Amino acid sequence: MPHFLNATEAGFETSFQALLSAKREDSPDVDAAVAQIIADVRARGDEALIDLTSKFDRLELKADAIRFSKAEIAELIAQVSDDERAALELAAERIQAYHVRQMPQDQSWLEPTGARLGWRWTPVGAAGLYVPGGLASYPSSVLMNAIPAKVAGVKRLAITVPTPDGEANPLVLLAAELAGVDEIYRVGGAQAVAALAFGTETIAPVDKITGPGNAFVAAAKRRVFGKVGIDMIAGPSEILVVADGDNEPDWIALDMLSQAEHDESAQALLITTDAAFGSRVAEAIEARLETLERRAIAGASWRDFGAIITVPDLDVAAELTDRIAPEHLELCVADPVALSHKITHAGAIFLGAWTPEAIGDYVGGPNHVLPTARSARFSSGLSVMDFLKRTTVAHMTPEALGAIGPAAERLAVSERLEAHGLSVRARLNRLNQIE
C-alpha cells in the first residue's frame, strides 16, 4: 500500500522525513566490476569492446562492425512509419526552438581604468551520448541530449547504443539523424562509457558524456569524471503532483503512473488540500493498475514508494514541495502560476491540469533530462549550457595596470608568493621609467 500522510496529524514530520530518506536506488556493489571493465577497455581497446559485447549483449562483433554504417542506418530508418517520423520531427523542431533561446551571449566592456574585461562562450569539442539499448530504448532521450549539444556548436557528437541480440530501435537511429549525430556505435554498458572517455582504435575519445543508464553506466560515469565531463548521475524517475479537489482523479492518477511505470524504484507523490480527492486518486490508480501494460513495474513503484499527502493549504504544499525538490512537478490548482512563484526547488514545473508531465517528455520543448533524488536543490536539467565553456578575458593597458597593479602586488606579498608580486612590479617599474 502507498503511504497516506496528513500534515496536521501528530507524527507527520517523522513520517515525512522517512519518505524523503527512503532509499529507492538499486545499488549493487558494481564499482569494482566497473573499475575492471574500464581498465580492460583502456588496455585492450576494440578487443575488449568485442569481448564484453559478446558477454553482456549476446552479440558477436568484428572491429569493422562496432560502428553502424551509413547503409545500415538508412535501412533501419526506412522501417519507421510516416506517423512516427512526423511525431519525432515535431518533437525535434520544438526541442531545437526551445534550446536555441538558451544560447548565452559573449560580453565585453571597458572600465574607467582603461582595462577591458569580459567573457566568451565556446562549445566542447566532442560529446558522447549514452543511449540505453534494445527495443525498449528511448528516441526522445536522443533528441533531448543531442539537440542541445548541436545547438551549442559541438563539432562531433557520437552515441553508443547497445543492441542486445543484434536488435536495434529504428526510431533511435532516426532521432540521431534528425539531431545531427555524427557517429553511432553498437556498444553499451560501462565499456561504452570507458570507450567514450579514453578512446579505442575505432572510437575516438570525447570531452563530455551525457545520457541515462543502469547502475553500471552510472558507476562508470562517476569513475571517468575528471577525465571527461558528465551531465549528472541520474536516479529513478519521480513526479510530485500538487492538486486541489477541482480535478479529474483519473487524470492525476495517470500522470502519477506515467512515472511509476518507468521503474520499480520510481516515485509518484500527490500533495492535496482535499483528503477525499486524494482517496479518489488512489482508487483511480488501483483501477488503472488492473489494465496497464506495465502494471507490474508501476504497481511495485506505487506500493513501495508512492504517497498521498494531505495539507491544510497551498502554502504548506509549497513548503513541502521545496523539501522534496522533485524531478517533475505538476501544479494542478486554480492559480498554478502564483503557486509556482512560491516554489524554488524543482527540476521542471508543469502548470495547470492541461499540462501533463508526459508532454514534457516528448514535445513540450524543455529538456526532460532532469535532476533526481532531491538534487534539484542545487542543480538543473540538461541544457545548452552543459555543452559550453565560459572563458574569461582581461586586457590591461599601461594606465589600467598602473591603477590596480599595486594592489595586486600588495596581495601577492601578503600571500608570500614572491614571483607573483615581482611579475607585476617589473611592469610597474617600466611604467615609472616611461613616466
Question: Amino acid identity of 323?
Answer: R
Pick from 318, 377, 374: nearest CA to 345:
377
Could you list the residue range(s) of the whole structural domain that residue 400 is in?
396-434
Question: CA geometry: angle at 175 spanning 171 and 177, to 5°?
Answer: 115
For residues 386 and 367, the answer to whether their CB atoms sit within 8 Å is: no
With b meaning 16 or more CB within 10 Å and e meaning fewer, what string describes 176-194?
bbbbebebbbbbbbbbbbb
| 166 and 311 in a common domain | no
In sign, the C-alpha dihedral spanning 323, 215, 261, 77 is positive
Question: CA geometry: angle at 148 spanning 143 and 152, to 5°?
Answer: 150
| 240 and 222 in a common domain | no
Q: Using one digit for the tens of pLDDT, what is the confidence trace for 301-312?
A: 999 999 999 999
Q: Which of 264, 328, 357, 409 is catalytic?
A: 328
Tell me if 26 is assigned to some domain.
no
pLDDT at 433: 85
Q: How confident is the model at residue 432 (pLDDT cuts 50, 70, 90)?
A: confident
| 292 and 212 in a common domain | no
User: How many domains is the chain built from?
Assistant: 3
Q: How confident is the model at residue 26 (pLDDT cuts 50, 70, 90)?
A: low
337 burial class (0-12, 13-18, 19+ CB within 10 angstroms)?
A: exposed
pLDDT at 213: 86
Active site residue 327: yes
For residue 124, give every residue at least 6 positions away whose Cβ sits within 8 Å of its Cβ, in sequence order, or none.
152, 154, 207, 208, 229, 387, 388, 389
Neighbour tally for 204: CB within 10 Å: 14
pLDDT at 214: 85
| 249 and 111 in a common domain | no
Query: Rounded to whole angstroms, how far apart are CA atoms 304 and 121?
Result: 45
Q: Using one digit for the tens of pLDDT, what is the confidence trace for 313-364?
A: 999 999 999 999 999 999 999 999 999 999 999 999 999 999 999 999 999 9
Q: Using one digit for the tens of pLDDT, what is the confidence trace for 153-207?
A: 999 999 999 999 999 999 999 999 999 999 999 999 999 999 999 999 999 999 9
| 42 and 70 in a common domain | yes
- End-to-end Cα, the chain, rounded Å: 83
Domain-ending residue, one of 215, 230, 245: 230
| 177 and 79 in a common domain | yes
Write down the mean pLDDT value for the chain. Answer: 95
| 263 and 354 in a common domain | yes
Query: Rounded to whole angstroms, how far apart are CA atoms 348 and 98?
Result: 14
| 181 and 79 in a common domain | yes
Tell me if 110 is assigned to some domain.
yes
For residues 94 and 100, the answer to whether their CB atoms sit within 8 Å is: no
For residues 180 and 189, the answer to whether their CB atoms sit within 8 Å is: no
pLDDT at 136: 63
Cell of 30: 558494481
66 burial class (0-12, 13-18, 19+ CB within 10 angstroms)?
A: buried
| 183 and 147 in a common domain | yes
Could you tell me the CATH number of the domain that includes residue 260?
3.40.50.1980
What is the number of alpha carbons within 13 Å of residue 389 lying toward its C-beta?
Answer: 13
Query: Rounded to whole angstroms, how far apart are CA atoms 238 and 260?
Result: 8
Report in angstroms the alpha-carbon separations of 52 from 47, 216, 252, 342: 9, 13, 43, 50
With cell 549476446, the residue in question is 58
Does residue 136 or residue 138 have the better pLDDT? 138
**Secondary element (H or E) of residue 75:** helix 70-77
pLDDT at 21: 86
Q: How confident is the model at residue 134 (pLDDT cuts 50, 70, 90)?
A: low
| 277 and 188 in a common domain | no
Tell me if 390 is assigned to some domain.
no
Predicted TM-score (pTM) of this structure: 0.93
Pick from 59, 27, 55: nearest CA to 41:
55
**Secondary element (H or E) of residue 390:** strand 388-395
Tell me if 19 is assigned to some domain.
no
Mean pLDDT for 79-89 is 97
| 353 and 221 in a common domain | no
Query: Rounded to whole angstroms, how far apart are CA atoms 24 and 10?
Result: 26
With DSSP H G I counted as helix, E B as strand and the rest as coil, what are the percentages for the chain, rounded to 5? 50, 15, 35
Report the residue count for the chain.
Answer: 435
Q: How confident is the model at residue 405 (pLDDT cuts 50, 70, 90)?
A: very high
Query: Which DSSP string corresponds to 98-163?
Result: HHHTT----EEEE-TTS-EEEEEEEE-SEEEEE---STT--HHHHHHHHHHHHHHT-SEEEEE---
pLDDT at 234: 82
Tell me if 369 is assigned to some domain.
yes
Query: Rounded to whole angstroms, how far apart are CA atoms 180 and 365?
Result: 17
Active site residue 328: yes
Mean pLDDT for 203-227 is 94
Mean pLDDT for 138-149 is 96
Q: Using one digit for the tens of pLDDT, what is the confidence trace for 252-268?
A: 999 999 999 998 999 99
pLDDT at 27: 61
Pick from 270, 248, 249: nearest CA to 259:
270
Whether 74 has a pLDDT exceeding 80, the answer reads yes
Cell of 233: 548521475
Q: How confident is the model at residue 374 (pLDDT cuts 50, 70, 90)?
A: very high
Tell me if 183 is assigned to some domain.
yes
Q: How confident is the model at residue 97 (pLDDT cuts 50, 70, 90)?
A: very high
Q: Which of 183, 327, 330, 409 is catalytic?
A: 327
| 264 and 213 in a common domain | no
Mean pLDDT for 2-12 is 93
pLDDT at 435: 62
pLDDT at 297: 95
Whether 28 has a pLDDT exceeding 80, the answer reads no
pLDDT at 25: 65
